[in-house]
Amino acid sequence: MDTTASLEDRDATGAALRQETEQGEKVSKSLSLRSKGIITFILMVAYALLIGVSTESQRISLLKLVDELEAAHRFEAQLLEINTSMARTLFAVNMSFSEDNLTPSTIRSMIEIEASLSLLEAIQTHYPGVLILSGKLHALVRDLAQQPSLGTLSVTRATLNELILELDGITKNAHAKRLKLLDQYRENYDRITLSSLAMLVIGLVLIGAATAIFFSRLTWDIRKLETHANDIVKGNRDTPLPVTRNDELGTLMHAVNRMQLDLRERERHIERTRLEQFHREKMVAVGSLAAQLAHEINNPIAAITGVASAISQVQRTQQCPNHGATCQPGLILEQAKRISAITRQIADFTRPQAQQPELLNLNELVRNTCAFVSYDRRFRRITLTTELDSEMPAVRAIGDHLTQVLMNLLINAADALEEMPADHPALIIAKTVATEEEAVIEISDNAGGIDAETLAKVFDEYFTTKPAGKGTGLGLALSRELIQDRGGSLTLESVPGTGTTARIRLPLRVAATAA
């Protein structure tokens, strides 16, 4: 089961945090709070100008209507004056019929008619009926001036009545037009008032809503930033703060995410350094203790070896009093040499190693590490075997780091086997394989395996399935980091109920280049 993709997904948190930080550095300040304020002001001014232009257009239309209304009022007043004059003229003509002497009364009638005709000159060009009747009156006036007669006066009176009727119709139409214009003026005035009030209310509502939304979102984002900062203080180093703003607050959010990333990397570095230092100090302490024990053990071992050698020499001669009896001085020598070999092996293994990359015999390193950890009490019931590729080339790496990783993987496998039933055969296989491009180390066990959900989290920092005090959850995370530093990879494959295989891949190309 290939878990490389799932393991890479577990780095998504750090990658997302890093990506958020990189994006924050590229954010443009074109929409800063100051810019948003300027844009808001410009929009308000533009809206005010729109209201002003609309109101001015309606005001001009209303002024035109007022001018038309004034013109209609003047025209109606003019018609009233004409009608009054025509009534006075008709009265004068009627009075002429009751006079005995037609000449004086005719002259008075002619004067009234001329006065009325002078008033009609202002409107007769617009009304053909008035123009015709005015011409007829002019002719009648000339006839009366030449020879006054009752017949001519009768025709003049009939013409005046006809003209008065015509003027009445014109006056009624003018009055109706004036009333219509007055109604239009009132309607336009009400419409302008209502539209201006509506635009003002809409503008206030929009500005108020935009202001409320802006400050509500600003307050919400500030609270999110405050909560996230408090979480960082409490130890949150994983989840970045989502940034949806491109203003100064968004820049501050990116800065907080960048600080979170810096803290995360710094703490990782500190923890890694601490664990590496702890491993070195532990190995140095074990080495020092092993050297002292070897020194203390070598003295009695030397004595035992001397005595056993003497016994062996005497046994070969006929002078031995127990000649022919069961006596095994060779066994004593063999076990004494084994004790010396073990103390020497521990001392050699725990000797301080270089902290710089060097060419390593990978098979020897695996063999020595397996031999060292086999003395741990957890390996008493475990069969630890090695399958080493005899064609394995030298690999350039830091020996102390590889030792630390192998010990961690072997101990994890032993812990997993410790949970298995006593009748379950406990087996760990350390295997090396060389390909054309990489060297592979596999640590396999036949424990209960790991389920998919747990397997996806095994490389997370501080994640552990071990009880408190037995694991910190940093071993695998640190191990993978140490391998990745040399361009390699560390993956886990597991089948529940079958077992788990940890696979280390180290590129040979790095070694070839370095060589």
Cβ(132)–Cβ(166) below 8 Å: no
Q: Which fold has domain 353-515?
A: Heat Shock Protein 90 (3.30.565)
Q: Is the dihedral of CA 401, 405, 406, 411 positive or negative?
A: positive
Nearest CA among 222, 213, 93 for reference residue 163: 93
Q: Cα angle vertex 404, ends 461, 276, to 5°?
A: 65
Q: Residue 495 in contact with residue 382, Cβ under 8 Å?
A: no
Q: Dump the DSSP string for 81-124.
A: HHHHHHHHHHHHHHHHTT-S-HHHHHHHHHHHHHHHHHHHTTTT
Sheet holding 382-387, edge to edge: 382-387, 426-434, 438-445, 499-507, 489-495
**Domain residue ranges in the chain:** 34-200, 353-515
How would you write the pLDDT of the chain (515 residues) with one tens digit per residue?
334 433 344 444 455 545 554 554 444 444 677 777 788 888 888 888 888 888 888 888 888 988 988 998 998 898 899 889 888 888 888 888 877 777 788 888 888 888 888 888 888 888 888 889 888 888 888 888 888 888 888 888 898 899 889 889 999 998 998 899 899 888 888 888 888 888 888 888 888 888 888 888 888 888 888 888 888 888 777 778 888 777 777 888 888 888 888 887 777 777 767 766 666 666 655 655 566 666 566 666 666 666 667 666 666 665 656 555 556 666 666 666 666 666 665 655 555 565 678 888 888 888 888 887 887 788 888 888 888 888 888 888 887 788 888 888 888 888 888 877 777 778 888 888 888 888 999 888 888 788 888 777 777 766 676 665 565 666 777 788 888 887 888 888 888 888 888 899 999 865 433 33
The pair of structure tokens assigned to 57 is 């257009």
* Separation CA 314–CA 322 (nearest Å): 10
